[in-house]
Each structure stands twice: as C-alpha cells, then as structure tokens.
Chains A and B, each alone.
Chain A
Amino acid sequence: MNLLSWIGRQAIELFSTLGFFFIVGLKAFTGIFSGTWSKEDLFEQLERVGVGSVLVVSITSAFTGMVLAVQTLDQFVRFGATGYIGGVIALSMVREMSPVLTGLVVSGRIGAAMAAEIGSMKVTEQIDALRTFGLEPHVFVGVPRLLAGLVMLPVLTLFSFVIGITGGFLYVAAHGVNAHLFRRSVEALLAPSDIYGGLLKAAVFGVLIVVSACGQGFMAGQGARGVGTATTKAVVWGNMLILVFNYVLSSLLFGGIKG
C-alpha cells in the first residue's frame, strides 16, 4: 500500500514536472518572435554555453575518440578489417558519442549554473521585479538561454567530432595504421546524413538542457535549500532527458537495417 502510494506520488511528480518543462519550452519558443528579451543577455549566454564549454568538451571528446580507437583497433586488425577502423570511429563519434557527451557535459556545467541563477533570482524576488516592469520572466529569461542552447550545442558537437576523430586517429596511427587508409575509410562510411543527424540531436539536447534548467529554476522553493535542490534536479532531469531522447532519435534517424 505504501509502495503503491509512493509510486503514485512519483508518477504525479514526473508528469507535472514534464508538463511544466513543456510549458516553459513552449513559452520560450513562442517568445522568440513575439516577446521582449534582451540581445545583450543572448550574447552573454552564447558565450557562457559555448566558449565556456570548449575546454571540457575537447578533453572529453579527445579521450573518447582514443578509447574508441583502443577498442576497435585490436578487433578490426584481427579480422583483417583495418580499412574500416577510421569509418567506425567516425560513425560512433558523429552519431552517438559527440552529441551525447557534449550534451551531458553541458548539462552538468551550464544546466546547473542556469538553474542556480534562476532559482536565486526567484528567491530574491528578481523574477517578481521583472514582472513589475511588464516583462514575462519565462520569455525574458528563457529566450536567450534557449537560443544559446539551440545554437551552441550543435557548434560544440561539431567541434567534438573533429577532436574525437583526431584523437582516435592519433592512437591508431601510433599503432601503425596508415593515415591515408584511415581517411579513405572515414570518407567511405560517413555520409552527410550522419553529420546532420548528429547535429540535430545536439540541437534537441540543447533545448532539453535549457528547459530542465529554466524549469527547475522557476520551480525553486524558498531559500538556499530550494536553490540547491533545483540545481541538482536540473542536472538529473537534463541527463535523463538527453539519454531518453537520444534513444528515440537514434532509432528514428539511424534505426532499422539498411541495405
């Protein structure tokens, strides 16, 4: 009985949170064209999300590219498929690793910071102050952050492709794989649709990160504790949504068996 009511309460919280995220996202999207928001804030958010994440994304991607190379090299050489190594590493990076890792890294860095910032704006009545100036906080605060996520995640992901594949190449090249062979196999296996698919995922993840961060920030309860909880929840929700949507998008974009 207790277990049932616990499950019930969790389900209600899950759906009401998702519903609120949806409203936050919808208001920010419609507010892009019809609402009042600040361009200066947009530049600041672009810088925070983009420039601020370059280093972490680079390190994460380089090592992921290298570890992919470690795993593929041995297997592929054993089966005489050395000519496919570059392509396989590139495909895994572009379709899965880069968008997902970039998403998770940015969710941890930016999602947490955004939720904390908005939560403390709420607790210190800055959100109410925005309302007294005739502004809609979901638009004024939400739009610049949404646009920053939407633009910067694909940019960072593109960057992650390049670094990750380079990392993988350096490892296999150090183990005697021919550079020309590596490049040819990347060219042969990687189609433009893979790149577009990866970037599309990244853009979706950008929206998910911002929506969970803003949503949790706006929902923050009273005091420092409320802000702390909002921060943690923003990251948990951001990561969870990224992984769920990643599965959905992968099966839509790349799923099934293609000749």
Chain B
Amino acid sequence: MDPVMRMQGVSVSFDGREVIGGMDMTLPVGEITCLMGPSGCGKTTALKLASGLLKPDKGRIELLGKVIGPETQEDELVEVRKELGVVFQGGALFDSLSVGQNIAFPLKYCRGIEDPESISKMVLDMLEHVELEDVRDKYPAMLSGGMRKRVAIARSLVHSPSLLLLDEPTTGLDPVTARHIDQLVVDLCGEFGFTALVVTHDIVSALGIGDTLLLMHEGRIAWRGVPVEWERSDHPMVKSFAQGMVSVGRTGGEKM
C-alpha cells in the first residue's frame, strides 16, 4: 500500500537559513512513527510540511495521494486537510470557543455533521477518553497546560482522521497522564487504523508507542530504526540524545 505521507528531498529555509535540508521521510499506513531530536532541529517545521501547512522550497511531498510542491496553492489542499488531525505544540485551542465547541469544531467543518445531539454525544465520548468530562463548558484560558494538551488531542481525534500529526503531545504532562495519552494514541491507531507521526522529546513514550523511530539532526533524518534497534544502537547521535535525556531526568527536570 502507498504510504500516507512521503517526503522526498524536501528543503525549507527561513530568512535565508536552511532549516530543513534534503529531508526524506515516509509514514507507512497504520504505523506510528516517532520523530525525535534536539530542540530547534526542525521537528515542528517537518510536521508543518507533513501537514501541508508549509510548502517546501524544494522537493515534493505526497500527502494522502495529493502531491505538494513549492507551487501548490492553498485551495488545492482543502479536502486533504479534512483527513488530518493535528495537535500543535502549544495546543492552538480556539480561545473564543468552549472546550466542547473546540472539540465539536472538526465534526462540523471536516465532517459536516450538524445534528447537535450526535455532536454532543461524540464530544462527550471523546472527553471521556481524555478524562475531562467535567470541563466541557469551560474556556481554554481556564484550564491548566496539561488539560489544554488533552483537549487538543481530543480535538485532533474526534473526526477519525486518516493521519494524526502530534507535536509533543506529552510534554508538560505528569507521567501518569503522559502514559495514558500514549495508550490512547496506540489504542485508537489500533482500533481505527490511524497513521500517526508523533514528535516527542520523551524517549520512554517513543520506545513505548513507536513502530518506527526517527532521530533528526540539523534538518535531516540522522537515524531510523525500530525500538529494539534504538536500545542496541551505537550511533553517536542516538547515544548522545539518549544520554542527554537521562541526565535531564536526574537533574530533576519534568521530562521523563
């Protein structure tokens, strides 16, 4: 089967500085791919490319059968986008809408569901999944950072997208909630056959949920493998990244 997303030789520059340089990445159907890498190496940028939010300066991206190149116009991507579930690094919840309305949003605009009762049922169902049944009528500004993250995840899943793109979904969450979110992603991918790209700093989470792990360095994929290979790998980049994370954990940082 064709992969859900395939990136070939993609480059992007901001203000003349190349942030992504000749990147190749493939997301096979039904698999969870975890993208790791040090801060500022271009993970978020890669995720924006994979969702068609950013056009490549060079190279091509095939997203759900649609080819995106430097010249692709916004309106060509409307239908493809409705098949995506994206969690932005900061959540990007709509401030002016309540939690319930935020989660109802993709149901209305991506799936065209109008019946308030079925919307309300699906929203509640989703809120149960992320254990936030009691905040439906609150506004994003009234929630904690972790709660906002979970609402954002609920919003990205509610319309059963074909491709999930999660930018650090567990950063800033306590370990229990983080594992719970991991489990949710795994379960839903198993249940509905979603394909997912998860950007993460959290090695525990990546080893736990990833079918494939990618390590990014300076705008390229530096290492690619499955979780067992990660633990055995003596690739210098893998080692330094893994050690860096361990020492952060020991010095009392909030990341696992």
Residues of A whose CB lies within 8 Å of any CB of B are: 36, 44, 117, 120-121, 124-126, 128-129, 131-136
Known A124-B90, A132-B84, A134-B78; 16 more pairs at CB < 8 Å: A120-B95, A125-B90, A126-B94, A126-B95, A128-B48, A129-B88, A129-B92, A131-B53, A132-B51, A132-B81, A133-B105, A133-B109, A134-B77, A135-B109, A136-B74, A136-B75
Instruction: Give which listed residue, B75, B78, B92, B106, contacts A128 with CB less than 8 A.
Output: B92
Contact flag A124-B92 (CB < 8 Å), given A131-B53, A132-B81: yes
Closest 4 CB pairs of A and B: A125-B92, A129-B92, A134-B81, A134-B82
> A residues within 8 A CB of B48?
128
- A133 CA / B152 CA spacing, docked (Å): 13
Contact A128–B81 (Cβ < 8 Å): no
- A129 CA / B140 CA spacing, docked (Å): 15
Complex interface bits, B201-236 against A, C-beta within 8 A gives 1, otherwise 0: 000000000000000000000000000000000000
Contact A133–B94 (Cβ < 8 Å): no
Asked if B181 is at the interface (CB within 8 A of a chain A CB), the reply is: no
Contact A132–B86 (Cβ < 8 Å): yes
Interface size of B as a range: 20 to 34
Complex interface bits, B62-82 against A, C-beta within 8 A gives 1, otherwise 0: 000000000000110111011
> B residues within 8 A CB of A135?
109
Output the residue of A117, A124, A126, A132 with the most chain B CB within 10 A.
A132
Contact flag A133-B82 (CB < 8 Å), given A125-B92, A126-B95, A128-B53: yes
- A124 CA / B94 CA spacing, docked (Å): 9
- A36 CA / B48 CA spacing, docked (Å): 23
- A48 CA / B109 CA spacing, docked (Å): 24
Residues of B whose CB lies within 8 Å of any CB of A are: 48, 51, 53, 74-75, 77-79, 81-82, 84, 86, 88-90, 92-96, 105-106, 109-110
Instruction: Give which listed residue, B79, B93, B94, B95, contacts A134 with CB less than 8 A.
Output: B79
Contact B53–A133 (Cβ < 8 Å): no
A-B contact pairs, 16 of them (CB 8 A): A44-B96, A117-B96, A121-B95, A125-B89, A125-B90, A125-B92, A126-B93, A126-B94, A126-B95, A129-B92, A132-B53, A132-B81, A134-B110, A135-B109, A136-B75, A136-B78
- A142 CA / B111 CA spacing, docked (Å): 22
- A128 CA / B77 CA spacing, docked (Å): 13
Contact A133–B95 (Cβ < 8 Å): no
Instruction: Give which listed residue, A44, A117, A128, A133, contacts B110 with CB less than 8 A.
Output: A133
- A117 CA / B96 CA spacing, docked (Å): 9
Output the residue of B84, B109, B110 with the most chain A CB within 10 A.
B109
Q: Which residue of A lies closest to B53 (CB)?
A: A128
> A residues within 8 A CB of B51?
132
> B residues within 8 A CB of A133?
81-82, 105-106, 109-110
- A182 CA / B106 CA spacing, docked (Å): 59
Q: Which residue of B lies closest to A137 (CB)?
A: B74
Q: Which residue of B lies closest to A140 (CB)?
A: B109
**Shortest distance between the CB of A203 and any CB in chain B (Å):** 26
**Shortest distance between the CB of B8 and any CB in chain A (Å):** 22
Q: Which residue of A lies closest to B161 (CB)?
A: A132
- A44 CA / B86 CA spacing, docked (Å): 27
Output the residue of A44, A121, A128 with the most chain B CB within 10 A.
A128
> A residues within 8 A CB of B90?
124-125
> B residues within 8 A CB of A117?
96
> A residues within 8 A CB of B92?
124-126, 128-129
> B residues within 8 A CB of A129?
86, 88, 92-94
- A129 CA / B151 CA spacing, docked (Å): 14
Q: Which residue of A lies closest to B51 (CB)?
A: A132
Q: Which residue of A lies closest to B106 (CB)?
A: A133
- A238 CA / B93 CA spacing, docked (Å): 29
> A residues within 8 A CB of B95?
120-121, 124, 126
Q: Which residue of A lies closest to B54 (CB)?
A: A128
- A134 CA / B66 CA spacing, docked (Å): 14
Q: Which residue of A lies closest to B85 (CB)?
A: A132
> B residues within 8 A CB of A136?
74-75, 78
Output the residue of A36, A44, A117, A126 with the most chain B CB within 10 A.
A126
- A15 CA / B86 CA spacing, docked (Å): 36
- A62 CA / B48 CA spacing, docked (Å): 53
**Shortest distance between the CB of B33 and any CB in chain A (Å):** 18
